[in-house]
Amino acid sequence: MNQWNKEVLEWTRALVSHPSVVGTLGERDLAHYIHGRLREWPYFQMHPDHLWLVRTRGDEKERYSVLALVKGNLCPNRETVLLMGHLDTVGVEDYGKWKRWAFTPDELMKRWKDERIPPGVKRDLEEGEWACGRGSVDMKSGLACHLALLRHYADRVEEWSGNLVFLAACDEEDNSKGILSSLDELAHIRREHDLDYIAAINTDYTSPRYDGDPHRYVYLGTVGKLLPAFYIVGSETHAGQAFEGLDPNLVAAELTRRLDYNPEFCDEMYGEVTTPPVSLKQTDLKGSYDVQTPVTAWVYYNYFVHRRSPKDVLESLREVAAQALEAALAIHRERLDSFARKSGDPVGSPDFSARVYTYEELVQQASKEQGPGFEEEMRQFAMNLVNEEGLDLREYNRRMVEELWQCSGEAGPGVVLFYASVYFPRVVLDPDQDRDRRLIEAVREAVGAVQPDCIHPIQVRHFFPYISDMSFVAISDDEEGLDALAQNMPAWGTKHRMDVDAIRELDIPVVNIGPYGKDAHKQWERVEVAYSMELVPEINRQVVERLFRPS
């Protein structure tokens, strides 16, 4: 199995040395670099029409994904395995004084060894062979595994039967425009070459699940991820007359108190439990200083799912919003009474009428308030907002809610619940379905075959625990759940497009068999060479062999 080490390590170093931070020119250039390297292979010299650069659509940036097809010639076979991964990385500001060497793995490693570094990092470097640098584990070593595997089969087309499609997608670290823009091309390749996608193998990174975890992990399917957001309208007042209004930050705090790290909102399936929600943003929307209390605030949370649909989550969080709003009002009343007793002054109690809306309900309320023509006015507002350069997707959604609230005729206090970002659908492999069971068995057999060569136990689990492009080659939610998402994400169909029909048409069962490393998205990012560059490509080769062998 050492046949893989040299080539995978070479590819990893080459890919890391080409900076491809998401949203930068390097992201575009790395796609051209990979495409150019593949074009030099004898197979693609003979089949130049099996290699594509796919530009992202609806994107203010010029960037590309790379697609390649290799067809086995041993005998006719429509069955096809998709080898998928992403070529972009997060930024390097976290590298501090080592920032200039973030893309030079060998030099960075030398400097680490000569300086004081965290004990855990030092211990790893002393006890095993590791490679470092931005993207080393997330996920250029994984992409390197696929490139080595693709080369292995491209050089032996007369010896095997089946087809491989390779995808190196851009923009995974932001809005997944790479994979979403590649869906039509994947469907086109299937029609043009009469293919049948039977499985997809992703090689995103894996890591320890807890301190001292000895396992290496393989995942069948993936977690889903939502970004529920709450737009909170208070009642403004002068700070010297604080009790005459309601601070929206108090409502935000009550929401976070109920949701942050709360295991009650973990989702369980097949005995596996998601990480609980955590806030990713909480702020009021006051633009400058004065002594008026804020009018509005907003907060959004990372929310993982295994079983729950967007509709299920919306319904449960609507109840949480109502509880948080009522709790904030109760605190306001209680503290007003306490202050009145303490000061000896009579303090009037505002008569607040507060309620919670979903975005869909707010649309209905605003339409009723504004009358005919309002829908077209909002459509124009939405399209003009799309043209606002550099506007973040989360902010776009918030701005849409803000505009709608102003048109609704409602006064605060109130809360609007909506979805603020890309939905990463959960993908569940069902062992009772023949096609899924075939992939599950191939993975388990391959892991069993390689386990004697691995000093660490390799554990097969059901849900890849991080968001990834795996979510866009299959989808496990029903129409009702997805409709709740579409109706409650303001950017749906304008700033954000997700072709659900195209995903359902692909419908490829997907697993993640990727490199092992630590500190992804951090300055100490590193990948373990022995497992990642020797065993991972071998496990994937054996999965492919088992899927393509005659039944």
Q: What is the pLDDT of residue 551?
A: 64
Using CA atoms, how far apart are residues 15 and 143, in angstroms rounded to an integer?
9
Whose structure tokens read 């999965």?
Answer: 543
Query: Does the pTM exceed 0.85?
Result: yes
Using CA atoms, how far apart are residues 177 and 91, in angstroms rounded to an integer?
18
- Quote the tokens at residue 399: 């701005």
Give Cβ neighbours of residue 150 (< 8 Å, ≥ 6 apart): 68, 70, 83, 164, 166
Positive or negative torsion for Cα 3, 202, 267, 321: positive
**What b/e readout covers 411-430, taking b as 16+ CB neighbours within 10 angstroms?**
ebbbbbbbbbbbbbbbbbbe
Contact 389, 347 (CB under 8 A): no
* 222: number of Cβ within 10 Å: 31
Half-sphere exposure for 504 (CA within 13 Å, toward CB): 9
What are the distances in angstroms from CA 120 to CA 124, 135, 233, 517? 6, 20, 46, 12
Q: What is the pLDDT of residue 307?
A: 96
Q: Where are the beta strands (DSSP E) in 420-494?
A: 458-461
Amino acid making up residue 18? H
Q: What are the DSSP calls for 332-393, one per residue?
A: HHHHHHHHHHHH-S--PPP----EEEEHHHHHHHHHHHH-TTHHHHHHHHHHHHHTSTT--H
Contact 21, 89 (CB under 8 A): yes
**What b/e readout covers 91-114, taking b as 16+ CB neighbours within 10 angstroms?**
bbebbeebeebbbbbeebbeebee
What are the distances in angstroms from CA 463 to CA 22, 85, 242, 274, 468? 25, 17, 48, 9, 12
Positive or negative torsion for Cα 525, 530, 531, 535: positive
Contact 157, 75 (CB under 8 A): no
Report the DSSP beta bridge partners of residue 281: 300
**What b/e readout covers 386-406, taking b as 16+ CB neighbours within 10 angstroms?**
eeeeeeebbbbbbbbbbbbbe
- pLDDT values of the chain reduced to their tens digit, one per residue, 551 residues: 478 999 999 999 999 999 999 999 999 999 999 999 999 999 999 999 999 999 999 888 999 999 999 999 988 899 999 999 999 999 999 999 999 999 999 999 999 988 889 999 999 988 889 999 999 999 999 999 999 999 999 999 999 999 999 999 999 998 899 999 999 999 999 999 999 999 999 999 999 999 999 999 999 999 999 999 999 999 988 988 888 899 999 999 999 999 999 999 999 999 999 999 999 999 999 999 999 999 999 999 999 999 999 999 999 999 999 999 999 999 999 999 999 999 988 777 788 888 999 999 999 999 999 999 999 999 999 999 999 988 999 999 999 999 999 999 998 899 999 999 999 999 999 999 999 999 999 999 999 999 999 999 999 999 999 999 999 999 999 999 999 999 999 999 999 988 999 999 999 999 999 999 999 999 999 999 999 999 999 999 999 999 998 76
Domains of the chain: 5-222+424-473+508-548 (3.40.630.10), 224-419 (3.30.70.360)
Using CA atoms, how far apart are residues 236 and 242, in angstroms rounded to an integer?
9
Q: What is the pLDDT of residue 48?
A: 97
Contact 362, 404 (CB under 8 A): yes
Q: pLDDT per residue over 167-225, tens digit each?
A: 999 999 988 999 999 999 999 999 999 999 999 999 999 999 999 999 999 999 999 99
Question: What proportions of the chain, in percent to the nearest 5, are helix, strand and coil?
Answer: 45, 20, 35
Q: What is the pLDDT of residue 127?
A: 86
- Determine whether 457 is exposed, middle or buried from the number of CB atoms within 10 Å of its CB (0-12, 13-18, 19+): exposed
Q: Where are the beta strands (DSSP E) in 203-260?
A: 216-220, 224-226, 228-233
Using CA atoms, how far apart are residues 304 and 277, in angstroms rounded to an integer?
7
Whose structure tokens read 């949370």?
Answer: 301
Q: What is the pLDDT of residue 549?
A: 86
What are the distances in angstroms from CA 66 to CA 35, 39, 181, 279? 6, 11, 11, 34
Q: pLDDT per residue over 139-156, tens digit each?
A: 999 999 999 999 999 999
To the nearest 10 degrees (0 to 180), the angle between helices 141-154 and 5-16 is 130
Using CA atoms, how far apart are residues 451 and 406, in angstroms rounded to an integer?
61
Using CA atoms, how far apart are residues 498 and 180, in angstroms rounded to an integer?
7
- Quote the tokens at residue 286: 């006051």
Half-sphere exposure for 380 (CA within 13 Å, toward CB): 5
In terms of DSSP bridges, do strands 414-419 and 296-305 run parallel, antiparallel, or are they unpaired?
A: unpaired
Report the DSSP beta bridge partners of residue 53: 66
